[in-house]
Amino acid sequence: MGGELVLVTGGSGFLGAHCILELLKAGYRVRTTVRSARREADVLAMLKVGGTEPGDALSFAHADLMTDAGWPQAVDGCRSVLHVASPFPPGVPKHEDELIVPAREGALRVLRAARDAGVKRVVLTSSFAAIGYGQTPVAGHPFTEENWTNLAAKVSAYVKSKTLAERAAWDFVASQGGALELAVVNPVGIFGPVLGPDHSTSTDFIRRLMDGEMPGLPRMVFGVVDARDVADLHLRAMTNPAAKGERFLAISGDFMTTLEIARTLKARLGDAASRVTTRVLPDWLVKLAGLFDGQAAQIVTELGKARNATGAKAVRMLGWAPRSREEALIATGESLARLGLLKKSR
């Protein structure tokens, strides 16, 4: 098999699988890490849904973010690494370290192994969570890559974990990285075609809307980007010399309210979206629900905040051209329906 070998960590995840698809399409050979051999079949099934049967172009390595074992073998012979793997649970962890430690230590493990193996560049998947929290949004001034989340403010464990992991990665490369290069991609909410039952927290929001599990909409805004475009941005950050030492926000257009998202689904998906609510809940009701429900508790601090961000840097520097927000949302809904991941209509 020809083609340069690239390591993708976390290939059984929603974004990891899309990154593998994008690399294979571009002619690369891919090695991906999974925590156990049991997950290999899941990865192959997701790639098949994505239209690819990789054959010899894909190989597997077994490695866990919480231990050193397996990482030297995983990076061996790779010129580039996409470090996509990261914990992102749907509920609130009992202790924030359940998220912070694997995110930070995992990033450092991958960087250390990459440096020792002579890898040229690592592209780290961070998040808008490391950019736009713990500070008051200013109207007319969208967040950019220059911004960092303020950890002195009250932020969720997930936000803290992504910020600390990215900070640690930049510090490591500056102080101990040697010739290793780092580029970082900071996506907002990742939507787009679901490839299997194990998708993401963002796409699960669409599933819950379409299944009628949400009695109403909290007054919140989301950034939207398609997983296919986030994967494409990872490749651009991996190959473009100008991306060295840079962060790139991955977002398509402006943030959307939950109501705009719901209306988009209803307008475009017909019967499949018949259970989507367009009723907006008063903040006090969401706060009350947050006392009993972990998912509601996570969003209470976000109610009514009018954030925004811009992906202009990736467009300008790397020629990135993402799909529209609406296309990303509709692709999510259509794929959930196509794969039979929605409740049957009554």
pLDDT in tens, 121-143: 999 999 999 999 998 888 889 99
With cut-offs at 50, 70 and 90, classify the pLDDT of residue 1.
low
Tell me which residue of 70, 59, 79, 163 sits closest to 110, measured CA to CA: 70
Domain-located, residue 145: yes
Whether the predicted pLDDT of 90 surpasses 70:
no
Whether the predicted pLDDT of 88 surpasses 70:
no
Write the CATH number for 185: 3.40.50.720
Domain-located, residue 339: no
For the segment 237-242, the average pLDDT, to the nearest whole number, is 98
Residues 6+ apart with CB under 8 A from 320: 229, 232, 233, 236, 248, 311, 314
Domain-located, residue 217: no
Residues 6+ apart with CB under 8 A from 255: 188, 221, 222, 223, 224, 306, 307, 308, 309
pTM of the model: 0.96
Please tell me the predicted confidence (pLDDT) of residue 18: 98
**What is the set of active-site residues?**
162
Domain-located, residue 234: yes
User: In sequence order, what DSSP letters do the residues of 102-159 get, joined into one string?
Assistant: HHHHHHHHHHHHHHHTT-SEEEEE--GGGTS-SS--BTTB-B-TT----TTS---HHH
Whether the predicted pLDDT of 91 surpasses 70:
no
pLDDT more than 90, % of the chain: 82
Domain-located, residue 303: no
Domain-located, residue 201: no
Domain-located, residue 139: yes
For the segment 96-125, the average pLDDT, to the nearest whole number, is 96
As a whole number of angstroms, the distance between CA 146 and CA 305 comes to 20
Domain-located, residue 327: no
Structurally, the chain folds into a number of domains equal to 1
pLDDT in tens, 164-211: 999 999 999 999 999 999 999 999 999 999 999 988 889 999 999 999
Residue range(s) defining the domain that contains residue 12: 5-191+224-253
Whether the predicted pLDDT of 338 surpasses 80:
yes
Please tell me the predicted confidence (pLDDT) of residue 89: 60
Please tell me the predicted confidence (pLDDT) of residue 2: 66
